Amino acid sequence: NESFSVNREGHLTIGGADTVALAREYGTPLYVMDEGMIRDNCRRYRRAIDEFYGGRGIAAYASKAFSCKEIYRIVQQEGMGVDVVSEGELYTSLLAGFPADKIFFHGNNKSEGELQFAIRQRVGYIVVDNLRELHTLEHLLEREGQEMKILLRVKPGVDAHTHQFIRTGQIDSKFGFALETGEALAAARECAALRRARLVGLHCHIGSQIFEVEPFCLAARRLIGLMGQIRRECGLELGMLNLGGGFGIKYTEEDDPVPYERFMERVSLAIHEAAAAEGLPVPYVVLEPGRSIVGRAGITLYTVGARKEIPGVRTYLSVDGGMTDNPRYALYQSKYEAIVANRAGEPKTETVTIAGRCCESGDLLAEGAKVQPCSPGDILAVLSTGAYNYSMASNYNRVPRPAVVMVKDGKSRVVVRRESLDDLVRNDL
Ligand code: LLP
């Protein structure tokens, strides 16, 4: 990976900055993100959209992967849209100056208050999940005297092979209108009768950390088929196709994702063919990558503490963070690579279980991880933690959330301050 290297002291560097020096300067645990790599990933999507759709499309960064003011500024500068999924993400994006008209507002149970906020802030698109939401939205728009572009979230009936907790395209999913049962078509028919909510397109998201291209092509074909049906039966011309996110990234050597460019090329082919078959113009395409923008750009630095050998079983290496800053092993048994940052030049000769500091046996970050020889006081870097780590962090055991540091051209700056003990009790009465 071009973002990482080892310097003369044998220390791991990210984006040109010495990770051991970062740990010393800002303390651990610490999230560190390579801004150059994030921007690079944004540009790869933009170039692919230019190449395969003649620029008629946009990548909307799925900010649930990592949300703070600075990331909205960065993706805005890169010409992207954003996907937000709560009033909190929406608020943060607007506070960072993100243009409302490039925001897609998601969620399977948006509250009336959230919808109202989105309307007043003139959010670009609301991705409507269910009929109750559709009716509430129309009612609120009427009251506010406003119009709103909407997409319908459709379950295309595509089963992508990924962890069941992050699979979303199948019929038995809490998200969206089912295609097979006619639910989605019926919803479009209702939209045709509305005056304020204007249906402009369809959305689907089939899951996350997906390596195969075919499920996306299949979903695209099905949604375009539905667009044809909606035109014939409801008289609505839908110009926008939002295929969600979910493009997988490489966490360990076992992962072998297709580069996004090839991915986009094949999906584009499916879209062009399906549109031609339906006699429809090629839709404006929206993608919602989250993990693939920030995942590999982030690492987490920890200080190694206790070491415990269970003879013949395993060696536990405890670090000063854990499931509070990265709950993904506890939730999905996800795999990570780790490097002893102050011995990055040495061969990995140890196999360890990296344990967190929480009062919970399942608080692990990795099992069977290969690392350099490691002792208390060493700095351990867990790689590819840029997505769904900080954004899923908690204060379990009243552990403060770590700071987030952004690195660019060897220089670092804090973009999210470390939580203090006072932050922890701020709302306690
Ligand atoms: N669009 C929609 C509507 C989504 O629901 C998601 C993710 C995305 C885009 C972005 O997907 P990505 O490109 O990041 O795969 N917490 C889990 C991931 C949950 C993803 C939920 N939705 C994890 O840590 O793996």
Are both 29 and 51 inside the same structural domain?
no
Q: Is 167's C-beta closer than 6 angstroms to any atom of ligand 1?
A: no
Mind listing the pLDDT tens digit for each residue in 201-248? 999 999 999 999 999 999 999 999 999 999 999 999 999 999 999 999
CA of 87 to the centre of ligand 1 (A): 17
Domain boundary among the residues 290, 316, 344 is at 290
Q: What is the pLDDT of residues 356-389, one digit of tens each?
A: 999 999 999 999 999 999 999 999 999 999 999 9
3-state secondary structure the chain: CCCEEECCCCCEEECCEEHHHHHHHHCCCEEEEEHHHHHHHHHHHHHHHHHHHCCCEEEEEEHHHCCCHHHHHHHHHCCCEEEECCHHHHHHHHHCCCCHHHEEECCCCCCHHHHHHHHHCCCCEEEECCHHHHHHHHHHHHHHCCCEEEEEEEECCCCCCCCHHHECCCCCCCCCEECCCCHHHHHHHHHHCCCCEEEEEEECCCECCECCCHHHHHHHHHHHHHHHHHHHHHCCCCCEEECCCCECCCCCCCCCCCCHHHHHHHHHHHHHHHHHHHCCCCCEEEECCCHHHHHHHEEEEEEEEEEEEECCCEEEEEECCCCCCCCHHHHHCCCCCEEEHHHCCCCCCEEEEEECCCCCCCCEEEEEEEECCCCCCCEEEEECCCCCCHHHCCCHHHCCCCEEEEEECCEEEEEECCCCHHHHHCCCC
Ligand 1 pocket, residue 246 CB under 6 Å: yes
Q: Is 143 annotated as a binding residue?
A: no
Mean pLDDT of 144-166: 85
Q: How confident is the model at residue 160 (pLDDT cuts 50, 70, 90)?
A: confident
Q: What is the mean pLDDT of residues 102-106?
A: 98
Residue 247 Cα to ligand 1 midpoint, Å, equals 9
Q: Is the pLDDT of residue 165 over 60?
A: no
Asked whether residue 1 carries a pLDDT value surpassing 60, the answer given is: no
| Among candidate residues 290, 315, 337, the one where a domain is terminated | 290
Under the banding of pLDDT at 50, 70 and 90, the label for residue 162 is low
324 CB within 6 A, ligand 1 = no
Considering the candidates 42, 204, 234, 359, report the single residue annotated as catalytic: 359
pLDDT per residue as tens digits for the range 38-86? 999 999 999 999 999 999 999 999 999 999 999 999 999 999 999 999 9
Structural domains in the chain (count): 2
Q: Is 160 in the pocket of ligand 1 (CB under 6 A)?
A: no
Question: Are residues 317 and 275 part of one domain?
Answer: no
- 236/324 same-domain check: no
Q: Using the predicted structure, report yes or no on whether residue 163 has a pLDDT greater than 90.
A: no
Among 129, 170, 208, name the best residue to mutate to test ligand 1's pocket (greatest count of ligand atoms within 8 A of Cβ): 208
Q: Is 234 a catalytic residue?
A: no
CATH number at residue 146: 3.20.20.10
Kindly state the tokens that stand for 326. Answer: 């990265």
43: domain range?
35-290
Percent of the chain with pLDDT over 90: 94
> Per-residue pLDDT tens for 19-32?
999 999 999 999 99
From the CA of 207, how far away is ligand 1's center (Å)?
7
Q: What is the CATH number of the domain that holds 333?
A: 2.40.37.10
Residue 126 has pLDDT above 80, yes or no: yes
